A and B are shown apart, each in its own frame.
Chain A
């Protein structure tokens, strides 16, 4: 058995270092984003603690308390109580439409005094825990359909509930469990189909249907050309290829129908802004246009800390929360954002490396769940600020302002670090 005395020695300080670096830089960025050059606030000023930077400082302090709590709790708690945590979160998600309050048009928040909490942020952690626990059973084989179905159910229930409270962005994060499942044996065809589907979706929006048809025919032709002679002689091959092309084309044509009839107006507009950067720059495209201007104006070296004009003067909406990457781009330039991206990738690499060291499948699966969630946020958040992804309310982990977001990522990460610190205590099954 272990006790907290040994934790210090076993905790992965490299990961902790990344964490401290990210939240530290993140805080400086928030400070800069809300910094007002005509009326700078002193730390001693009570008004400072009403600004986002001041509040984030409070969130950071409470996060530290959370970290201590997680490290003190017995490591087996997370596996044993995974189902209860999951069910508890489901209850909160169900309760939120009735008991919650509306913030920024999203009816998904609980309010305790001046503190607001978004249960959807914590549902990711709970789902990752339960999924990992489920996969811990050696009999679970993700190449088999019944197991795939059950795993999908674990992911799907909270997802549906979150979509129900109109948080499509947060719901999409659950797609990131594809990485966990893939690592744990889900056939590669699934992520391949997933990515292929996205490619098809985007190309169906960007280009005319006949171009997709031509591309498909050319691809099929190349496939035939390079396939072994004996297969080429089989008429079934041609039948299958034709069938595949017909199927894909049907899907491609369906995309337009879905966009026009299934998606809601604001979702349709977000996609439209994405595929047509010049679309309505003062209205629907405003956020993307301003975000690109802010980042683009940073140049190679940036304008320096507190030197940004675009983010400072509120040209970029939500610039301390979802759009905090703009501040980095404007003030620290290409060098800053490149370093940030490289650090983030390094962080993900370190986490995957640690995850693969785990002897328990629970810890490893959880680790990849964590990696997937972080990556998804990274992908969508930065992607939307530079116009490669549609605008969704998804924060940049550790950087964006927000208590729920910081707390949930801290918990998510430190549960893994706690598990990792006990990897030698775990039984490999």
Chain B
């Protein structure tokens, strides 16, 4: 009876079984969303940020390193604080802070860690260690701060800050995440990939409460963090600090280079800032203050600021003019027929022209360089002459990047045919009479202090330079890009340098350099410059190298709104040269005078003019 019903019953069972198998096939084989969901559930990717590379000076003195700081975390479910007052005393927080932060942590998650207290110092960390047993549910995580040995060198060094939203979007290899730290300027930025090291990744298994339960796949997928490479710079920290102290109360730049290697010995941007305040909790407040400062303390002036070279550019004219064959040591020009003014002196030869910085001399010389060809009208001849001139001048690094290992190097402007064509809106729209200002380093030519220091090095080397650089060795091997080892020739024969250097020597001993700029026992040769600017007092410029024979240091000093090059920039340069070559300065009076010299009022008056509403609408 009813025995066939067994088959019916089993048919029903079978249908259910097939239904299950079908659903399982869909869940497990076809639909892969569950796999991803499972990984998100159970595997937590932990990024381990390695220590950033340290930075040393040329003698192995530490400039930048990392200080571990400790962040205190709380897991609300495990946190039991029996004596709140005791806790607040130990961690030096107010009771309100304790209550507020605990509540916020609890609201976020009872089982996941929340940040309770940020950036405890090593000392604070040590002092609370013993008390930690009384506070279950609290634990520390290590973090690191950039720490600066010296307040000097901040601008060239650059700083480290959280990556900006734009940079986060623009990054090429998708390395950074929100909140990651990245080098923003200077060598921190240029050597970012070297300094940052290799980030570690840990895959940890976590349970449903977010509690870690060991390494995923026994850690086979983990990548250990690799510390960043150290940078060994060519900076002489003693000189750097000394130069910094001389540049206080001033706006400007100082760059010192070892001519034979292109190594930068010191690089000052004034006014500067205190890099140690740009770390940690204080960052945004201090950054805001710096960003709003009209003196632009965040700008690294040596590679980035724009100036007219003024009379220092006459050195280039003298070299190029000789190389092109239009002038020689015996070429003499008087003041007659020149639209540029000069001081009272008679006709001079090339050496004398450099000594007294004779404007008409270089006007005439430049005119000859531009017009000395026979084809076409004055417009065509101007274009042809300028092109020949500009091609040679470009070898000195003008109008292009030198390739210094710092972020934000600016090209500057070397006006050539193309440039004037665009300024005057077409060919044959301009001729020598429109462009003669550049003969004396005024007008359209724009340079950076770094380029002028490099010019001093070129002259010191008599015709070549090694691209200036701050870092002379990277990592354990202290390796360096061959680019920073390879001399670049400027295309001017060594013999043409003699007369120029003679002129520079005269300029220091009995020329445009005032007495404060002379070092009694060192033969420094140099050239002053006074850069015109529409807004205020002239900028004071001086470039030099020393000693004259076998030069050890080439230097450029720019002091904004400080007047003649011989009166402000030259003495400062001379002090740095003296300090570098003798490791001490004997001229204490000069030193004190220029350390205390304050050119800021001049600079601020310029700024005030700039920011004042322009009512006349010229």
Contacts and interface: CB of A to CB of B under 8 A. Distances in A.
A297 B19 contact: no
Interface string A381-415: 01100111000000000000000000000000000
Nearest to B28: A334
A333 to B, nearest CB: 6
B17 interface: yes
A349 interface: yes
A386 B208 contact: no
A371 B6 CA distance: 11
B205 A338 contact: no
A38 B214 contact: yes
Contacts of B339: none
Nearest to B43: A309
Interface string B37-59: 11101110000000000000000
B13 interface: yes
Interface in B1-50: 1-3, 5-6, 9-10, 13-14, 16-17, 19-21, 23-25, 27-29, 31, 33-35, 37-39, 41-43
B593 interface: no
Contacts of B33: 296
A329 interface: yes
A185 interface: yes
A300 interface: yes
A378 B19 CA distance: 13
A316 to B, nearest CB: 8
B6 A310 contact: no
21 contacts: A37-B213, A182-B5, A182-B9, A183-B2, A185-B2, A290-B208, A295-B28, A296-B35, A299-B28, A309-B205, A314-B209, A329-B27, A334-B28, A337-B24, A337-B28, A338-B24, A341-B21, A341-B24, A345-B13, A349-B10, A387-B23
Q: How large is the interface on A (under 10, 10 to 19, 20 to 34, 35 or more residues)?
A: 35 or more
Given A295-B28, A345-B13, A368-B9, 10 more contacts: A37-B214, A182-B9, A295-B27, A297-B35, A315-B42, A333-B28, A341-B20, A349-B10, A355-B6, A379-B16
B9 A345 contact: no
A387 B24 CA distance: 10
A14 B19 CA distance: 26
B206 interface: yes
B207 interface: yes
User: Which of A185, A296, A315 has most B Cβ within 10 Å?
Assistant: A296
Contacts of B31: 296
A312 B41 CA distance: 11
Contacts of A345: 13-14, 17
A344 to B, nearest CB: 8
Contacts of B43: 309
A184 B2 contact: yes
B9 A183 contact: yes
Interface in A330-359: 330, 333-334, 337-338, 341-342, 344-345, 348-349, 352-353, 355-356
B24 A334 contact: yes
B33 to A, nearest CB: 7
B23 A315 contact: no
Chain B CB within 10 A, most for which of A293, A295, A338, A352 = A293
A227 B10 CA distance: 30
Interface in A165-210: 179, 182-185
A341 B38 contact: no
Contact of A341 (B17, B41, B206): B17
Contact of A299 (B2, B29, B216): B29
Contacts of A355: 6
Contacts of B25: 334
A298 interface: yes
A297 B40 CA distance: 11
Interface in B275-313: none
B23 A386 contact: yes
B164 to A, nearest CB: 34
A300 B28 contact: yes
Interface in B540-569: none
Interface in A34-84: 36-38
Interface in A293-333: 293-300, 309-310, 312-315, 329-330, 333
A298 B10 contact: no
Nearest to A294: B38
Contacts of B209: 314
A379 B207 CA distance: 29
A293 B214 contact: no
B187 to A, nearest CB: 44
Residue among B1, B16, B35, B39 with the most chain A CB within 10 A?
Answer: B16
B42 to A, nearest CB: 4
Nearest to A344: B17
Contacts of A377: none
A185 B1 contact: yes
Given A299-B29, A352-B6, A315 B13 contact: no
Nearest to A297: B38
A292 interface: yes
A2 to B, nearest CB: 26
In this complex, the member of A342, A353, A379 whose beta carbon has the largest number of chain B beta carbons within 10 angstroms is A379
B56 to A, nearest CB: 42
A313 B6 contact: no
